């Protein structure tokens, strides 16, 4: 007379339907119970998605600059204060260009922030860069209109200027024609020969809010060069043939400059080298750390949510003691009762998880739209979130469901 | 007539800490198929415990219980659940319907655990409710039905898996005289269809309908008499 297997095991679909039905009849409570999982999962999804989006956007911008680029700056950084000593010269730059085999192109530059620029009645303050013809190639930014500085302009220290797109907009009006006009930079007259394409801001530096004039001209007329060894520069950009040569280039540049400046161990460098790859790595580790932190917080919220579910399940078992008795009297096995309550916990937490995924996607989509970075939702994070919420439901439901299954039908039937 | 229930020297003892309380003492009982038995006795006489053991909701401490010739004493909980589901129908004083389920869903419940198809559950539940005269109240919840109607839903639920035996624990205890009579009539009809009926009651009028009356006192059968009226 032992029961057939068919009797012992209800189909999963049937059990889930029964669970959904029971939960639906107590909608408010079910809704409040799911909140914990919704908050946990949605914040995890939103933050990982936003983090990935920001990371991707920054990487794209850095990659647009080129991942095979080194920045060598004059001066050293000691205890957070940078000393912009005039330790690099144009001759250094030319030596790097000629002797560093890993270098594809080298561009020297002088930089002066907060320079006053005037056109007609318009007066603006912007960032002035003196450089050479290699700048566009190295920085991967090209003129949209007119042309960039030529070798002749640099050799002859011509009073010509190339405008960043934002400078053009501010001085001449949005997308107005500027080539051929005369502007004044710190009182000196310059002819506009080109306007650069817009590139967007990267960190603090807005590449579009800059002016470019010949390095030689800037050194003589704007900065007032007094370097004994030659024409002082703020630094140089070096572009290698490929990312893989970057470390070699950095090594060669360091050795060459130390030699040229007569620096011997244990003396430190008098210049700083920034590697684009290092920047990306730093950025990735910062975003990674941030993501780990937020995911940890989301995890805590999920645990709290799970405890909430367990609590409500206990209350539900007590409230429905008589129902459990009735079900057992008409033939429910312990396993059937266990599955019913487990299924309710799992349905609650998985529903919360699914809603959380939806809310998280909406939040990150909104953030991506408002702050203009790519909208990325990885399947991995969605799948993990749903998986975790189901596991939490199982764990939270286990003890209450076991408690329900073990109830004595006679005692359960007698309860009010 | 074959034997439906045979109990041999059944005892039931509850242990409360160090004290053991004997509730049933050496009860021998035999109920034939198609019988109609009323169990009477004062409260605390052990009649509910006897009923629970007959209904496989409880196990005896010692003694042997045979249902339709099969020894149930050694069965595990799942096997007892199966017997409750397939062979026994329960009717309780408090009806014990699921309050948030409709009459139809309540009647379908035993078939859910019998793993019948949705279609068959539906069909048989409607049939059972029609047979107790509730075909127009399928979608009503217990709180929308009168006491008599609720008890009839409970009967439909008890009948729906075609049990050999119906156990009714004070089935009229919560009903007025008129509806009590309806319920008694229903029990009579079911018995005439060949279903074995075991009923626990205080009420002499209710017991008077049974073929046999078993009197319990302090856990022992003191009198097992054929109903004088028959």
In eight-state DSSP terms, residue A157 is T
- Residues of chain A above pLDDT 90, percent: 35
Strand-pair category, B165-169 with B88-92: parallel
Q: What is the DSSP string of B34-102?
A: T-EEEEEE-TTSSHHHHHHHHTTSS--SEEEEEETTEE-TT--HHHHHHHHHHHEEEEETT----TTS-
One-character DSSP codes across B121-135: HHHHHHHHHHHTT-T
pLDDT of residue A129: 93
Residue of B115, B118, B157, B161 to mutate, testing the A interface (most A Cβ within 10 Å of its Cβ):
B115
Residues of A in contact with B84 (CB under 8 A): 328-331
| pLDDT grade for A226, boundaries at 50, 70 and 90 | low
Q: How many CB atoms lie within 10 A of CB A114?
A: 8
A281 vs A193: which has the higher pLDDT: A193
A111 has which bridge partners?
Answer: A129
Cα separation, A301 vs A285, whole angstroms: 24
**pLDDT at residue B67 in the model:** 92
Neighbours of B230 (CB within 10 A): 10
Residue closest to B104 by CA, chosen among B146, B79, B67, B132: B132
Cα A227 to the center of its chain, rounded Å = 41
Q: Which residues of A touch B116 (CB under 8 A)?
A: none
Backbone phi and psi for residue A403, each to the nearest 5 degrees, phi listed first: -55, -45
- Split at pLDDT 50, 70, 90, the class of A135 is very high
Using an 8 Å Cβ cutoff, are A89 and A231 in contact?
yes
Out of A6, A332, A410, closest to residue B81 by CB: A332
Of A6, A327, A410, the CB nearest to B109: A327
Exposed (0-12), middle (13-18) or buried (19+): which is A312, by Cβ within 10 Å? buried
CB-CB under 8 Å, A8 with B78: yes
Residue A225 confidence (pLDDT): 65
Over the range A232-260, which residues count as b (16 or more CB within 10 Å of their CB) and which as e?
bbbbbbbbbeeeebbeebbebbeebbbeb
pLDDT at position B123, please? 94
Q: Chain B neighbours among A 6-45 (CB < 8 Å)? A: 6-8, 10-11, 14, 18, 22, 25
Taking the CA of residue A392 and the nearest CA in chain B, the distance in Å comes to 27
**Chain B residues touching A2 at Cβ < 8 A:** 75, 79, 82
Find, among A416, A415, A330, the residue nearest to B167 by Cα.
A330
A340 → chain B, closest CA residue? B113
Judged by CB atoms closer than 8 Å, whether chains meet at A10 and B109 is answered as: no
Contact: B52, A327; criterion CB under 8 Å: no
Which carries the bigger pLDDT value, residue B228 or residue A178?
A: A178
- Give residue B174's pLDDT: 82
- Going by C-alpha positions, the residue among A18, A3, A75 that lies closest to residue A346 is A18
Query: What average pLDDT does the segment A161-183 reach?
Result: 90
Pairing relationship of beta strands B196-200 and B165-169 according to DSSP bridges: parallel
Query: Strand, helix or coil at A322?
Result: helix
B114 interaction partners in chain A (CB closer than 8 Å): 7, 331
User: Which residue out of A329, A337, A343 would a mutagenesis test of the B interface target, given it has the greatest number of B Cβ atoms within 10 Å?
Assistant: A329
In A, which residues are within 8 Å of B52 by CB distance?
410
Taking CB atoms and an 8 Å cut-off, how many pairs form between chains A and B? 79
Phi-psi region at A120: left, alpha or beta (left = phi > 0; alpha = psi -120 to 50) = left
- Point out the least confidently predicted range of A68-82, A178-192, A258-272, B142-156: A68-82
Alpha helices in A66-140 (DSSP H): 90-99, 135-139
Comparing C-alpha atoms, which of A351, A341, A334, A333 is closest to residue A394?
A: A341
Residue in the structure block whose two tokens are 């004493």: B73
Alpha carbon A155 to its chain centroid, in Å, reads 42
What confidence category does residue B228 fall into, taking pLDDT thresholds of 50, 70 and 90? low
Are B81 and A3 an interchain contact pair (Cβ–Cβ within 8 Å)?
yes
The mean of the pLDDT values for chain A is: 86
B208 touches chain A (CB under 8 A): no
What is the least distance, in Å, from the CA of A1 to any CA of chain B? Answer: 8
Q: Would the pLDDT of A332 be above 50? A: yes
Weakest mean pLDDT among A128-132, A202-206, A398-402: A202-206
Portion of chain A with pLDDT greater than 70, in percent: 92
User: What pLDDT band is residue A203 in, cutting at 50, 70 and 90?
Assistant: low
In chain B, domain spans: 35-47+78-226
Q: Does the ipTM exceed 0.90?
A: yes
Its CATH architecture, for the domain B35-47+78-226, is: 3-Layer(aba) Sandwich (3.40)
Residue A158 φ/ψ, nearest 5 degrees = -65, 145
| pLDDT score recorded for residue B156 | 94
Taking all residues of chain B, what is their mean pLDDT, rounded to a whole number? 90
**Per-residue confidence band for B6, with pLDDT thresholds at 50, 70 and 90:** very high
Interchain CB contact of B109 with A (< 8 Å): yes
Q: Which two tokens stand for residue A253?
A: 């540049």
> Average pLDDT, stretch A179-183?
91
Across A301-322, average pLDDT: 88
Structure tokens at A281: 């790595």
Tell me the per-residue pLDDT of B200-216, one tens digit each, with 9 for 90 and over. Answer: 988 888 888 899 899 99
pLDDT digits (tens, 9 = 90+) for A352-398: 999 999 999 999 999 999 988 888 888 888 998 889 888 988 998 99
How far the first Cα of chain B sits from its last, in Å, is 18
Q: In the structure, what pLDDT confidence band is assigned to residue A244 with cuts at 50, 70 and 90?
A: confident
Please report residues of B whose CB lies closer than 8 A to that of A409: 57
Kindly state the average pLDDT of the residues B59-81: 90
Whether residue A335 has pLDDT greater than 70: yes
In this complex, do B78 and A328 lie within 8 Å of one another by their Cβ atoms? no
- Judged by CB atoms closer than 8 Å, whether chains meet at A7 and B57 is answered as no
Determine the distance in angstroms separating the CA of B230 from the nearest CA of chain A, rounded to an integer.
33
Reported residue count of chain B is 230
B33, B49, B30: which is closest to B41 by C-alpha?
B49
What pLDDT score was predicted for residue B167? 95
A241 secondary structure, DSSP code: S
Closest approach of B228 to chain A, Cα-based (Å)? 34
Instruction: Indicate the pLDDT class of residue A54, thresholds 50, 70 and 90.
Output: confident
The reply to whether B81 touches chain A by the CB within 8 Å rule is yes
Domain residue limits, chain A = 5-61+282-414, 86-93+104-239
DSSP-assigned letters across all residues of B161-220: T--SEEEEESTTTTS-HHHHHHHHHHHHHHHHTT-EEEEE-S-HHHHTTSSEEEEEETTE
Mean pLDDT of B12-32: 89
């Amino acid at each position: 007379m032992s029961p057939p297997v068919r009797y012992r095991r209800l189909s999963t679909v049937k059990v889930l339907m029964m669970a959904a039905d029971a939960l639906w009849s107590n909608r408010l409570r079910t809704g409040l119970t799911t909140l914990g999982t919704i908050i946990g999962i949605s914040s995890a999804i939103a933050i990982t998605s936003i983090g990935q989006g920001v990371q991707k956007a920054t990487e794209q911008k850095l990659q647009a600059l080129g991942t095979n680029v080194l920045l060598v700056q004059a001066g050293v950084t000691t205890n957070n204060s940078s000393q912009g000593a005039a330790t690099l010269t144009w001759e250094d730059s030319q030596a790097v260009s000629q002797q560093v085999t890993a270098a594809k192109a080298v561009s020297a530059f002088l930089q002066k922030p907060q320079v006053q620029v005037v056109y007609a009645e318009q007066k603006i303050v912007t960032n002035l860069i003196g450089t050479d013809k290699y700048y566009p190639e190295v920085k991967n930014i090209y003129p949209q209109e007119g042309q960039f500085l030529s070798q002749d302009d640099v050799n002859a220290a011509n009073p010509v200027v190339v405008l960043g797109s934002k400078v053009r907009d501010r001085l001449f009006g949005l997308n107005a024609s500027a080539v051929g006009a005369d502007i004044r930079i710190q009182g000196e007259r310059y002819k506009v020969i080109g306007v650069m394409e817009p590139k967007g801001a990267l960190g603090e530096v807005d590449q579009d809010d800059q002016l470019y004039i010949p390095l030689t001209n800037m050194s003589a007329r704007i900065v007032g060069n007094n370097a004994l060894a030659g024409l002082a520069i703020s630094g140089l950009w070096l572009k290698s043939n490929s990312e893989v040569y970057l470390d070699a280039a950095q090594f060669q540049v360091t050795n060459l400059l130390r030699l040229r400046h007569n620096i011997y161990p244990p003396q430190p460098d008098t210049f700083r080298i920034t590697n684009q790859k290092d920047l990306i790595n730093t950025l990735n580790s910062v975003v990674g750390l941030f993501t780990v932190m937020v995911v940890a917080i989301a995890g805590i919220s999920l645990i709290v949510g799970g405890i909430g579910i367990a609590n409500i399940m206990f209350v539900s078992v007590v409230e429905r003691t008589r129902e459990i008795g009735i079900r057992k009297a008409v033939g429910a096995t312990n396993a059937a009762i266990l599955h019913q309550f487990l299924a309710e916990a799992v349905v609650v937490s998985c529903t919360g998880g699914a809603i959380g995924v939806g809310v998280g996607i909406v939040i990150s989509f909104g953030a991506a739209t408002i702050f203009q970075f790519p909208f990325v939702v990885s399947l991995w994070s969605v799948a993990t979130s749903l998986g975790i919420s189901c596991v939490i439901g199982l764990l939270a439901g286990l003890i209450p469901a076991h408690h329900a299954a073990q109830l004595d039908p006679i005692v359960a039937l007698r309860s009010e | 007539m074959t034997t439906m229930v045979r109990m041999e020297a059944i005892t039931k003892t509850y242990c409360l800490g160090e004290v053991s309380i004997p509730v049933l003492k050496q009860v021998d009982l035999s109920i034939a198929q198609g019988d109609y038995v009323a169990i009477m006795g004062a409260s605390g006489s052990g009649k509910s415990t006897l009923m629970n053991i007959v209904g496989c909701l409880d196990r005896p401490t010692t003694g042997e219980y045979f249902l339709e010739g099969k020894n149930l004493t050694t069965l595990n909980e799942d096997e007892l659940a199966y017997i409750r589901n397939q062979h026994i129908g329960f009717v309780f004083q408090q009806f014990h319907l699921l309050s948030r389920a409709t009459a139809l869903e309540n009647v379908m419940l035993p078939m859910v655990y019998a793993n019948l198809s949705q279609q068959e559950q539906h069909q048989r539940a409607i049939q059972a409710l029609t047979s107790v005269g509730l075909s127009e109240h399928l979608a009503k919840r217990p709180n929308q039905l009168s006491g008599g109607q609720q008890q009839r839903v409970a009967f439909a639920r008890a009948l729906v898996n075609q049990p050999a035996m119906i156990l009714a624990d004070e089935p009229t205890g919560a009903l007025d005289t008129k509806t009590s009579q309806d319920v008694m009539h229903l029990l009579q009809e079911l018995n005439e269809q060949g279903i074995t009926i075991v009923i626990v009651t205080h009420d002499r009028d209710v017991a008077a309908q049974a073929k046999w009356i078993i009197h319990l006192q302090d856990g022992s059968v003191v009198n097992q008499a054929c109903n004088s009226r028959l």
